[in-house]
Amino acid sequence: MSNRLPGLVALFVALAPAIVGAAAPAGATLSAAQNAVLQADGPRALALLGALHPASAAEARQRVCMAARLQDRPSFPAARTTGHPLPDAVLRAYRHYWREALDPAHRAAAEKALFADLRRLTDQPAQATRDALQDAVSARLAALGLHSRLGRTAELYDLMLYFREDERRYPVLLPDGQRETVRVFLMRDLVSGGWARHLNCGGPGTGGFATDEGLYAVADAYDLDDESFRINFLAHESQHYADYKRLPGLQGPELEYRAKLVELAQAEQTLAKTLRAFVANQGDDRANPHAWANRRVLAALAQRLKLAEPERLVDAAADEVRAAARAVLVQDNAERGIPAPVQ
């Protein structure tokens, strides 16, 4: 991502015909619907929500909120705004685009409409490129004291919008012996946490990303002292940061493949949870690099550990999984011409 990333019952009744009419798919769980959102498949997410039988009041509320946002209707809780006309108009443009673009059949038209809105809001000429329009939006937002990161996250154009930013430095030792000292910019007081977090109503979504200048983290998504932050964010994104320098031009799916191997090579308390998350979100579309990488990582480790099915990794010995992940990463390094790890 560049810097140019009525009451509940009445609302549910109003939404029910639109989401229950779809064929009820197997495995209709809240996490399955959230993963469909992560894979930018809005029709499937709505079908899963329509077939879902909530297990708790909290799950029922999440179902109603997600269904509302996936249909571009008022949600409860309402999406946050800034109270200022320009950024709130930008937010409305992006949020409408996200809902429309989550249907692949409408994605190209939705992108065209989004950039027409951004051109109008920033008074840019008709010949302005998409990068120039995103730069203009960032500049206008910065002039109002807001931080923003715009660009693409997987299939969709994204917007991170927030009020405060803190910087810290962290030393990181990667599994292949590479040492990095990375700058981490903590994004605080978010108004927009990106398309996946918005459509999942605060559920799974962007937790952070790497750029050439350092790492960006959604501060509220982590306990900065626990393993999830150190491994699932810091180690993962530090691998991206290192690969940007060592392997310029490496594409997103391969970047994610290598970073996810790092997570599994170093995770301890979070290993089982991370494996389950990878199993739940797999795909073959390179336009969704996380799901694509999850499937390849699981297959590579299952092959190395001689498991009949990748899903059996969740029952494998933790030390064996970590060792296999490190070995696969080192092998990938060798195939890409990166020297063997320092012993």
| One-character DSSP codes across 279-327 | HHS--S-TTSHHHHHHHHHHHHHHHHTT-SSGGGGGGS-HHHHHHHHHH
Q: In terms of domains, do 125 and 226 share one? A: yes
**Omega of the bond leading into 77 within 30 degrees of 0 (cis):** yes
pLDDT at 134: 97
Reduced to 3 states, what is the DSSP secondary structure of residue 27? coil
Number of domains forming the structure of the chain: 3
pLDDT at 342: 56
Judge contact between 45 and 70, C-beta under 8 A: yes
Q: In terms of domains, do 220 and 279 share one? A: no
Q: In terms of domains, do 93 and 228 share one? A: yes
pLDDT at 21: 33
**Length of the chain, please?**
343
Q: In terms of domains, do 216 and 299 share one? A: no
Q: In terms of domains, do 90 and 229 share one? A: yes
Query: For residue 286, how many other CB atoms are within 10 A of its CB?
Result: 13
Q: In terms of domains, do 113 and 227 share one? A: yes
Q: In terms of domains, do 128 and 202 share one? A: yes
What would the two tokens of residue 38 be?
Answer: 């992560």
pLDDT at 3: 58
Q: Is the residue at 180 inside a domain?
A: yes
* Euclidean distance between CA atoms 220 and 222, whole angstroms: 6
Q: Exposed, middle or buried by CB within 10 Å (0-12, 13-18, 19+), for 107?
A: middle
pLDDT at 307: 96
Q: In terms of domains, do 264 and 143 share one? A: no
Q: Is the residue at 78 inside a domain?
A: no
Judge contact between 66 and 49, C-beta under 8 A: yes
Q: Is the residue at 37 inside a domain?
A: yes
Q: Is the residue at 79 inside a domain?
A: no
What would the two tokens of residue 329 be?
Answer: 């990463």
**Omega of the bond leading into 289 within 30 degrees of 0 (cis):** no
Q: In terms of domains, do 94 and 178 share one? A: yes
Q: Is the residue at 31 inside a domain?
A: yes
pLDDT at 28: 86
Q: Is the residue at 340 inside a domain?
A: no
Domain containing residue 150 = 85-235
Q: Pick from 203, 235, 267: which residue ends a domain? A: 235
Q: Pick from 19, 45, 70: which residue ends a domain? A: 70
Q: Pick from 21, 44, 70: which residue ends a domain? A: 70
DSSP run (H or E) holding 135: helix 130-143
pLDDT at 95: 97
Q: Is the residue at 266 inside a domain?
A: yes
* Euclidean distance between CA atoms 88 and 249, whole angstroms: 35
Q: In terms of domains, do 91 and 220 share one? A: yes
pLDDT at 341: 61
Mean pLDDT split into 10-residue runs, the chain, 343 residues:
35 28 61 93 96 94 96 93 97 98 96 98 96 97 96 94 97 92 96 96 92 92 93 95 93 96 97 94 90 96 95 95 97 91 57
Q: In terms of domains, do 182 and 129 share one? A: yes
Q: Is the residue at 141 inside a domain?
A: yes
Q: In terms of domains, do 210 and 95 share one? A: yes
Q: Taking the chain, what is the end-to-end CA distance rounded to the nearest angstrom?
A: 34
Q: Which residues contact 286 (CB under 8 A, 6 or more apart)?
A: 251, 252, 253, 292
pLDDT at 113: 98
